[in-house]
Structure 1
Amino acid sequence: MAGRIKDEDIALVRERARIDEIVGSYVTLKNAGGGSLKGLCPFHDEKSPSFNVTPARGFFYCFGCQEGGDVIDFIQKIDQITFHEAVETLASKVGIQLRYDESGAPIQRGPGNQRPRLVEVHKVAAEYYVEQLFGAPEAAPGRQFLDKRGFDRDAAVLFGVGFSPRGGEALTNHLRQRGFTNAELVTAGVSAEGQRGLYDRFRGRLMWPIRDASSDVIGFGARRLFDDDKIEAKYLNTPETPIYKKSKVLYGVDLARREIAKSHQAVVVEGYTDVMACHLAGVQTAVATCGTSFGEDHARVLRQLLLDHDQFRGEVIFTFDGDSAGQRAAIKAFEGDQAFAAQTYVAVEPDGMDPCDLRLEKGDAAVRELIGRRTPLYRFVLGNVLSKYDLDRADTRIDALRDAAKLVVSIRDRSKVDAFTRELAGLLGMEVDQVRPEVHRAASRPAAAPQTQQGRTPVTTTTEAPAPPPRQDLPSPRDQRFVIEWDVLKVAMQYPHLVGAAFDELDDHDFTHPWLAAVRGGMEKIGGPAAAAPGEAWVVGVRDAIGNDPAAAVVGALAVDPLRLGREPDDLYALALVARVQELTCARRIMDLKSKLQRTNPIDKADDYNRMFGELIALEAYRADLRKKAITGAI
């Protein structure tokens, strides 16, 4: 437990930790106009980007799942940690030494606050392993291993490759001397606890640091070097820890992230040396899973980096060995193909060599050519399905047709089914009219899988997980009932100096949705737009003024939603919006008054009738004046 972080330090963290850079290490963001950026939401699966980031105001918001907030909120949500812990995490990233108010009540910490320390453990351990590789005589087998695979010292340094000493406690003692506790070493996964105390988890192995997209070392992959190693497994990986989740980790993503976003291509290989070989050969989009097969979470990471959606397609290229295991891996990859909007391919070297061996045998150009010769994953799997049938026999040709037809109808892009039907007919040596009915029959039956040599392997048509249902009372910027109210609040949130004191003329009666009224009230509590602090401080202030009210969720949307104007707004436009909101309020009052007049007898209640009639005339004149102001602003 520790005291509360000083408010001025929290504000400094918000200022220094640029939201576009922090979010951009998880999600590829593209310019959406109006100073906003857009990408695929990291908090729910979606096919089209609805996740918006506005750096000028330091806020993000997803119009698909309604998650939003500032840079601290983002780290809280993405790492599932507390506010206190998120501030500490960001402070460590941007080099701010936090100060604590020890006079206040201590802050209860959850498990997530360990991240900064665990990252530091791995950073120090990685540096130590590198020193050992190049300085320790016993590391000679590790250096020889790299040399035999075509990796020189510069390559090893680029990827941070190191060596773990064979002694049982060398790293553990080194980290203790650096001030880390036994609990931190065990939690980080670099040490394990035995009957005689702590010992190094990795001993006598070649070490690859595994980094996340923000380049923090969060784990290690360790390759066996010595025949007398008591652990027979060729590769060991860091166990699951608070910061290392193997189902979400891709080796090499720190180096490949920017190139993946730039080229809209990701190459998935099978091992650490394959990633090294690809990058050194010029294929700088290569990544690999770490001790596990490629799964849904890995696909989600790549989609966010690729900005993978229906209107902006990239490509994902899998490399597999040419043996039966590689074919099974291709089938498994095809099962997850539906997760991508990108086109999926497979690159297999005919001689069965992986990218590392290929580079060693035939050079860098051969690796680039391997990727260049990629084959659509569908065609590779189709060839695998047909290869187990004797197509010279009529009966087995029919069996092949029935099996392959199931694959054809599982194609994600329905517009291509007919083309693939024709292609299948050619491969089988049959007329298209013979093949098409079977494809239609397959489409009408529940999806089944093509057979493999191992039996029937499901090739399921997976769909993205549905986004959480929108909150029913959350106003939408596209909802015509609230569009003008929404727009005036957007301008007040994004350009407070334009509406200035004119906004103070509005009150809760001008907003027909309680959440929008609450946002206006939050602005009023901190002095209104005329007194707005610059940048994100204004947005954060409004949100904090609203407090725990559900309306606080709307603040993020208002801060990032682009204006419908199509240009930078000016004060004339802003003031016209204020007038339009007032005009709508006036119109509602006129309708109410007309209703009362219709229900009032002008003879029995002449005074009331005349008073209301006079008020109606005044309101109509006031409304006409407001309409002129609104028209002047061309809204």
Structure 2
Amino acid sequence: MRTLTGVPGLINEEDLATVRERSRIEDVVGSYVTLRPGGGGALVGLCPFHDEKTPSFRVTPARGFYYCFGCNAGGDVIGFVQQINNCSFVEAVEFLADRVGVQLRYTEGGGPRVEPGLRSRILEANRLAADFFAGQLTKPDAVAGRQFLTERGFDRDAAEHFGVGFAPTGGRELAKHLRAHKFSDDELIKASLIREGGWDYFQGRLLWPIRDAGRSVLGFGARRIFDDDRMPAKYINTRETPVYKKSHVLYGLDLARQHIAKKNQVVVVEGYTDVMAAHLAGVDTAVASCGTAFGDDHARLLSRLIGSTDALKGEVIFTFDGDAAGQAAALKVFSGDQHFISQTYVAIEPSGLDPCDLRIQHGDAAVRELIGRREPLYRYVMANTIGGFDLDRVDGRLGALRAAAPLVGSVRDHSLVNGYIHELAKMLGTDVDEVRREVSRAGRRTLPAAQARHREPPAYDEPPPEDDEPQLLGLPMPNPRDRTLEVERGTLRLMVRAPEVFTDAWNGVAVEDFTHPTYAAVFGAILAAGAAQADWPQPVLARLDDASASSVVAALATEPLLRPASPAYAAEYVAKLRLLAVSRSIANLKSKLQRTNPVDDQVRYNRMFAGLLELEQQRRELNDIAAGPAL
């Protein structure tokens, strides 16, 4: 269930409903995607979340949902803003509230956090500032900035491609420029574009615009290029603003997003020039954190970017220095590995060069080769962990095994675990069975429940000990073209799109009537939501905490019905669903009867036979109801 929690309070439910009502999904999506009529009241277009040539992206204005049949991305208008802008639920609501002119109230904290329209004003001011800075880079005052770029292998075309700019040394030029566009000093201070007193926030520095996935300018990163710069830090960034939060943004995301979706890969580098060098060298999935270390929020952001594809094929590759600081950074990232749904890797250049210097000294191919030499992050961390023990001593090998075993147990692709157990045993010179037992014990001691939900049981050579706790899994995504599940999906589609044609008890349908666990979860949420409401199926989504189930609801809301909705249509679907459930029960009961000796256990045999007759009667009655037009 998506939370409305934020600081300082919760969004008022009435305001949230108003934002949803006024935010027409076709208008919001249409500002990012060209939509055309697709039949059945739906609109279709090319999906903005993955590359495609044939439209598989569908928007249903009547229900307020979107769904892509190519990458399974789907949801309501708030979910679309979350995904396209890589922001939280609360931030998406506030974005839409500004768009439609709703002043949000919060149930605690004493009023709105940001005055209406301020976010859009800041974004517009940032856009104008980025254009201004880019124009200043060609001026005589910026010769030092141009020289800095040239020395690092970036020509004018590269500067324009990445929007690199220059903040004039005078310290008043930007403020004057933006005031001419009717911005107040108060707005510019809140945007972190000027300081109290009217001085420009950035002065005499080279600047990089930091954009979100939708190419809106959120803030800037600035590098010192003059020795007499009064700011001691080599890099400074925009202060935290209503649109810029350094732990939630990644530089280069606007240029990398489509390539990330296409290649199912993200390369995380450490600086602005490293991003530029990587992209120009052909590593066009590179991004970097802005003014802060890579953290859990960044990991969640990347997971949203590549979360709709095959997680075990996805790659998040980090480029760390090979020194102690790089090792510490790798450990920090590994400690938050549960936030990723893709495999994590590390690419270390033995010479210690970062991607920018590597490109300068050895060319584009060397940067590509650096990424090509990636190794699993766990293996890099494991090698450094083992390196801290004396493996010539028995106690040293035991200590190294106990330190490294949790790393092997946390490998995301468990089909590889057995191989890694053998690899660790070889590294330590220890018996394989001893390593396997320690890995199993470490998994039971340390595996968090939140992490376990995303993992499959380890594929060990031998069965795990009997006291192993079962691991929870995320729900699988059902195949919408699976004919054996056609009636289950069709019944749910009708419930999502036309709940009014069912009785209050959903015509007696039970969760047990659904064989696919995700469809069962969706119907369970429908039951929990109660009677259909005006904003249906929002109450259903609110009761789901599984991504696959939520995506199925979004898909069902956009799929056309095969016939006009009516109570008779619902009755036929329910009859076919119940008929399948009764048929399964009959098959199970017949199997039990065949295995029961009527002489040795006559009472039980007679009871089962009577139950079989009753089920056969139910099947005949359901056949009569279900014998309507083809569904």
TM-score higher than 0.5 here?
yes
Kept after mapping to 2: 8 A contact 1:401/1:428: yes
Quote the offset at 1:157 in angstroms: 0.3
Q: 1:437 to 1:82 in 2, by over 3 A?
A: closer
Residue in structure 2 matched with residue 207 of structure 1 by the alignment: 207
Quote the offset at 1:182 in angstroms: 1.0
Q: In the TM superposition, what are the counterparts of 1:25-64 in structure 2 within 5 Å? A: 28=49, 58-60=64-66
Residue in structure 1 matched with residue 37 of structure 2 by the alignment: none
Residue in structure 1 matched with residue 189 of structure 2 by the alignment: 186
- Between the aligned partners of 2:529 and 2:123, the Cα distance in structure 1 is 42
- Residue type at the aligned position of 1:175: L
Residue in structure 1 matched with residue 166 of structure 2 by the alignment: 163
Ranges in structure 1 where 5+ consecutive residues have no aligned partner: 38-52, 63-67, 92-97, 99-106, 448-459, 468-476, 494-502, 523-541, 585-623
Kept after mapping to 2: 8 A contact 1:422/1:432: yes
Kept after mapping to 1: 8 A contact 2:50/2:262: no
Kept after mapping to 2: 8 A contact 1:322/1:349: yes
Quote the offset at 1:111 in angstroms: 3.0
Quote the offset at 1:412 in angstroms: 3.7
Of residues 564, 572, 581 in structure 2, which corresponds to 1:580? 572
- Between the aligned partners of 1:224 and 1:302, the Cα distance in structure 2 is 29
Residue in structure 1 matched with residue 90 of structure 2 by the alignment: 80
Residue in structure 2 matched with residue 138 of structure 1 by the alignment: 141
- Between the aligned partners of 1:631 and 1:59, the Cα distance in structure 2 is 32
Matched, 1:127 2:121: no
Residue in structure 2 matched with residue 429 of structure 1 by the alignment: 429
- Between the aligned partners of 2:527 and 2:80, the Cα distance in structure 1 is 26
| Cα deviation code 1:142-174 (max 9, x no counterpart) | 101000000000000000000111122221121
Q: In the TM superposition, what are the counterparts of 1:165-564 in structure 2 within 5 Å? A: 165-193=168-196, 197-307=197-307, 313-433=313-433, 435-440=435-440, 442-443=442-443, 446-447=445-446, 463=450, 486-490=492-496, 492=498, 519=532, 543=535, 560-562=554-556
- Residue type at the aligned position of 2:142: A
Quote the offset at 1:304 in angstroms: 1.3
Q: 1:421 to 1:202 in 2, by over 3 A?
A: same
Kept after mapping to 1: 8 A contact 2:250/2:298: yes
- Between the aligned partners of 1:398 and 1:36, the Cα distance in structure 2 is 54
Ranges in structure 2 where 5+ consecutive residues have no aligned partner: 1-14, 35-44, 69-73, 103-110, 455-479, 509-525, 544-549, 577-619
Q: 1:236 to 1:465 in 2, by over 3 A?
A: farther
Residue in structure 2 matched with residue 41 of structure 1 by the alignment: none
- Residue type at the aligned position of 1:176: R
Kept after mapping to 2: 8 A contact 1:25/1:213: no
Kept after mapping to 2: 8 A contact 1:486/1:516: no
Q: 1:320 to 1:221 in 2, by over 3 A?
A: same
Residue in structure 2 matched with residue 116 of structure 1 by the alignment: 120
Residue in structure 1 matched with residue 40 of structure 2 by the alignment: none
- Between the aligned partners of 2:264 and 2:92, the Cα distance in structure 1 is 34
SS at match of 1:389: coil
Quote the offset at 1:443 in angstroms: 4.5
Quote the offset at 1:56 in angstroms: 8.3
SS at match of 1:17: helix
Quote the offset at 1:221 in angstroms: 0.2
SS at match of 2:195: strand
Quote the offset at 1:126 in angstroms: 0.7
Q: 1:15 to 1:417 in 2, by over 3 A?
A: closer
TM-score (norm 1): 0.66
SS at match of 2:230: coil
- Between the aligned partners of 1:234 and 1:26, the Cα distance in structure 2 is 40
Q: 1:463 to 1:69 in 2, by over 3 A?
A: closer
| Cα deviation code 1:321-359 (max 9, x no counterpart) | 121111111111111222223111110111000000011
| Cα deviation code 1:491-535 (max 9, x no counterpart) | 548xxxxxxxxx88x88698679998854xx7xxxxxxxxxxxxx
Quote the offset at 1:465 in angstroms: 11
| Cα deviation code 1:84-138 (max 9, x no counterpart) | 96265379xxxxxx9xxxxxxxx99953531111001101111111111112x22
SS at match of 1:174: helix
- Residue type at the aligned position of 1:401: L
SS at match of 1:267: strand
Kept after mapping to 1: 8 A contact 2:212/2:218: yes
Q: 1:69 to 1:404 in 2, by over 3 A?
A: closer
Structure possessing the higher relative contact order (Cα contacts under 8 Å, 6 or more residues apart)? 1
- Between the aligned partners of 1:559 and 1:435, the Cα distance in structure 2 is 44
- Between the aligned partners of 2:569 and 2:411, the Cα distance in structure 1 is 49
- Residue type at the aligned position of 1:18: V
Kept after mapping to 1: 8 A contact 2:32/2:48: no
- Between the aligned partners of 2:563 and 2:401, the Cα distance in structure 1 is 68
- Between the aligned partners of 1:558 and 1:351, the Cα distance in structure 2 is 49
SS at match of 2:154: coil
Q: 1:34 to 1:326 in 2, by over 3 A?
A: closer
- Between the aligned partners of 2:143 and 2:149, the Cα distance in structure 1 is 10
| Cα deviation code 1:293-329 (max 9, x no counterpart) | 1111111111111125666631110001121111111
Matched, 1:17 2:28: yes
SS at match of 2:627: helix
Kept after mapping to 1: 8 A contact 2:194/2:201: yes
- Residue type at the aligned position of 1:80: V
Q: 1:569 to 1:559 in 2, by over 3 A?
A: same
| Cα deviation code 1:573-621 (max 9, x no counterpart) | 978524537989xxxxxxxxxxxxxxxxxxxxxxxxxxxxxxxxxxxxx
- Residue type at the aligned position of 2:627: I
- Between the aligned partners of 1:149 and 1:576, the Cα distance in structure 2 is 71
Give the share of equivalent positions with the same residue, in percent: 48
Q: 1:16 to 1:332 in 2, by over 3 A?
A: same
- Between the aligned partners of 2:355 and 2:263, the Cα distance in structure 1 is 20
Kept after mapping to 2: 8 A contact 1:421/1:436: yes
Residue in structure 2 matched with residue 471 of structure 1 by the alignment: none
Kept after mapping to 1: 8 A contact 2:114/2:242: no
Kept after mapping to 2: 8 A contact 1:334/1:378: yes
Cα RMSD after superposing both structures: 4.8
TM-score (norm 2): 0.66
Kept after mapping to 2: 8 A contact 1:81/1:113: no
- Between the aligned partners of 1:420 and 1:81, the Cα distance in structure 2 is 42
